């Protein structure tokens, strides 16, 4: 094999790969921040309807227009500010592969590990600023360090810690760095306190990343979108993105789902109420630290109880995301907020372990 290729493959082999959740048959899935408060029958009904509308012999054309129209209504911005992709993962990948070359990115840690993996894959140097013990952003340190980078990634609310930094703080960062590409990942924004879409037209360097995988319960359909200034969004749609990034079926599913925004919002409200209940109950438990969440999941440090908690949860058929020790936090676990029944089962099981 040519040397350059085998060298490159050897280097890629050594990188951390994104770890997908393990599928445990019949388990209660609280490991990937999906929305199970949405009725499965509702999603099936939409999917059947979408199949009927879809002729897979044809390339999708007007289906893109339909989705842009619905996304524009939903997000409250004109469609000239939008771009779509096969999940926001794919949009992140495209942006990093086009704009990341020879650049340096600032992140805080812990944050969305896929973003870190993709920076490493594309040889984008990473400057990592640790969050405080309580997962707050050390503002001065971050501003100082970010000043030396080209790209800034802010996950808002943050995965895995769940918190959303204050709106004024995020706007201050954006206002400070007009010369940098700023990516605001709003995958969980429906569960948070604010969104930055209303500000987008003012900035030519800010890109908001969104997805229908979380609140809209469509992780399997792979639909993401971005909101950016007119020039960035247009170049993304016409030149950077491939011509048919979503299949006709996913396009139809997404368009239909967005027309049921009211129902989706009801499930979001239910999850927020459940989040408070789960948070309050976890707070009462001995030997764990629970983090305030503005997302559809809760992050906790379980210290020496980590192994015991995981083994009890597994025995009782519950899947959660187990991180171990990360960025100064010990025995970290992230649990998705599910239906009341799922959450009851989780609370009962974890209380047995501590
Ligand atoms: C912060 C964050 N951004 C983006 C994504 C990717 O979402 P999608 O399913 O649209 O690729 C996720 C998925 O877990 C996420 O947690």
- Asked if residue 208 has its Cβ within 6 Å of ligand 1, the reply is no
Q: Which of 195, 212, 215 has its CA nearest to residue 264?
A: 215
User: What is this structure's pTM?
Assistant: 0.97
Angle, vertex CA 174, rays to CA 170 and CA 180, nearest 5 = 135
pLDDT averaged over every residue in the chain = 96
The rounded distance, in Å, linking the Cα atoms of 222 and 274 is 26
Q: Which atom of ligand 1 is nearest to the CA of 213?
A: 9
- Asked if residue 250 has its Cβ within 6 Å of ligand 1, the reply is no
Residue 304: what pLDDT? 96
- Tell how far the Cα of 219 is from the centroid of ligand 1, in angstroms: 9
The rounded distance, in Å, linking the Cα atoms of 68 and 7 is 43
- Tell how far the Cα of 89 is from the centroid of ligand 1, in angstroms: 6
Residue 96: what pLDDT? 98
Q: Which of 114, 158, 183, 210 to mutate to test the pocket of ligand 1 (most atoms within 8 A of CB)?
A: 114
Mean pLDDT to the nearest integer, 164-172: 98
Mean pLDDT to the nearest integer, 160-169: 98
**End-to-end alpha carbon distance in the chain:** 54
Q: Which atom of ligand 1 is nearest to the CA of 33?
A: 14
- Shortest-distance Cα residue to atom 2 of ligand 1: 187
**Encoding tokens for residue 148?**
């030396």
Residues 6 or more apart in contact with residue 148 via CB below 8 angstroms: 104, 106, 127
Q: Which atom of ligand 1 is nearest to the CA of 158?
A: 1
Using the Cα atoms of residue 330, residue 335, residue 340 and residue 341 in order, give the sign of their dihedral. Answer: negative
Please write down the HEC assignment for all residues of the chain.
CCHHHHHHHHHHHCCCCCCCCCCCCCCEEECCCCCCCCCHHHHHHHHHHHHHHCCCCCCCCHHHHHHHHHHHHHHCCCHHHEEEECHHHHHHHHHHHHHCCCCEEEEEECCCHHHHHHHHHCCCEEEEEECCCCCCCCHHHHHHHHCCCCEEEEECCCCCCCCCCCHHHHHHHHHHCCCCEEEEECCCHHHCCCCCHHHHHHCCCEEEEEECCCCCCCHHHCCEEEEECHHHHHHHHHHHCCCCCCCHHHHHHHHHHHCCHHHHHHHHHHHHHHHHHHHHHHHCCCCCEECCCCCCEEEEECHHHHHHHHHHHHHCCEEEEEEEEECCEEEEEEEECCCHHHHHHHHHHHHHHC
- Asked if residue 192 has its Cβ within 6 Å of ligand 1, the reply is no
- Asked if residue 211 has its Cβ within 6 Å of ligand 1, the reply is yes
9-18, 75-84, 306-315: least confidently modelled range: 9-18
Residue 25: what pLDDT? 82
Residue 302: what pLDDT? 98
- How confident is the model over 278-297, as pLDDT tens digits? 999 999 999 999 999 999 99
Confidence of residue 267 (pLDDT cuts 50, 70, 90): very high
> Does the pLDDT value for residue 16 go beyond 80?
yes
- How confident is the model over 100-122, as pLDDT tens digits? 999 999 999 999 999 999 999 99
pLDDT above 70 coverage of the chain, percent: 100
**Encoding tokens for residue 48?**
């059947």
Residue 1: what pLDDT? 63
- Tell how far the Cα of 284 is from the centroid of ligand 1, in angstroms: 31
**Encoding tokens for residue 339?**
């239906």
Mean pLDDT to the nearest integer, 299-324: 97
Q: What is 24-37+262-353's CATH number, 3.40.1350.10, 1.10.287.3510, 3.90.1150.10, 1.10.1270.20? A: 3.90.1150.10
Domain residue extents for the chain? 24-37+262-353, 41-260
Identify the residue whose tokens are 């010369």: 179
pLDDT above 90 coverage of the chain, percent: 95
- Tell how far the Cα of 19 is from the centroid of ligand 1, in angstroms: 13
Confidence of residue 227 (pLDDT cuts 50, 70, 90): very high
Q: Which of 31, 158, 161, 214 to mutate to test the pocket of ligand 1 (most atoms within 8 A of CB)?
A: 214
Q: Which atom of ligand 1 is nearest to the CA of 112?
A: 1
- Sheet of 289-290, strand order: 28-30, 318-326, 329-336, 297-301, 289-290
Residue 26: what pLDDT? 85
- How confident is the model over 40-66, as pLDDT tens digits? 999 999 999 999 999 999 999 999 999
Residue 24: what pLDDT? 79
Q: Is 33 exposed, middle or buried (0-12, 13-18, 19+ CB in 10 A)?
A: buried
CATH class of 41-260: alpha beta
The answer to whether 68 and 81 are in contact (CB under 8 A) is no
């Amino acid at each position: 094999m040519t040397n350059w290729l085998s060298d490159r493959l050897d280097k890629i082999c050594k990188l951390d790969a994104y770890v997908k959740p393990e599928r445990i048959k019949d388990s209660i899935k609280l490991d990937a921040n999906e929305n199970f408060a949405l009725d499965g029958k509702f999603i099936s009904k939409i999917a059947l309807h979408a199949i009927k509308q879809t002729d897979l012999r044809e390339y999708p054309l007007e289906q893109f227009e339909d989705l842009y129209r619905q996304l524009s209504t939903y997000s409250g911005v004109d469609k000239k500010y939008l771009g779509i992709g096969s999940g926001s993962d794919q949009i992140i990948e495209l942006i990093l592969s086009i704009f990341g070359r020879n650049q340096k990115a600032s992140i805080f840690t812990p944050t969305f590990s896929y973003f870190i993996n993709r920076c490493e894959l594309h040889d984008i140097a990473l400057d990592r600023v640790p969050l405080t013990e309580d997962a707050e952003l050390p503002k001065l340190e971050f501003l100082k360090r970010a000043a030396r980078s080209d790209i800034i990634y802010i996950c808002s609310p943050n995965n895995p810690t769940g918190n959303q930094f204050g709106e004024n703080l995020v706007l201050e960062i954006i206002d400070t760095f007009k010369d940098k590409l700023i990516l605001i990942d709003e995958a969980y924004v429906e569960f948070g306190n604010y969104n930055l879409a209303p500000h987008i037209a003012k900035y030519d360097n800010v890109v908001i990343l969104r997805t229908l995988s979380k609140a809209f319960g469509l992780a399997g359909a792979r639909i993401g979108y971005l909101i950016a200034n007119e020039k960035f969004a247009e170049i993304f749609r016409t030149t950077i993105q491939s011509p048919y990034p979503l299949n006709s079926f996913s396009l139809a599913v997404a368009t239909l789902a967005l027309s049921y925004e009211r129902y989706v919002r009801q499930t979001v409200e239910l999850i927020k109420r459940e989040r408070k209940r789960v948070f309050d109950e976890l707070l009462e438990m001995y030997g764990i630290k629970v983090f305030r969440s503005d997302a559809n999941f809760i992050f906790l440090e379980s210290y020496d109880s980590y192994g015991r908690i995981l083994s009890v949860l597994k025995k009782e058929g519950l899947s959660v995301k187990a991180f171990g020790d990360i960025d100064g936090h010990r025995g970290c676990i992230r649990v998705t907020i599910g239906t009341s029944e799922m959450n009851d089962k989780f609370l009962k099981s974890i209380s047995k372990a501590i």
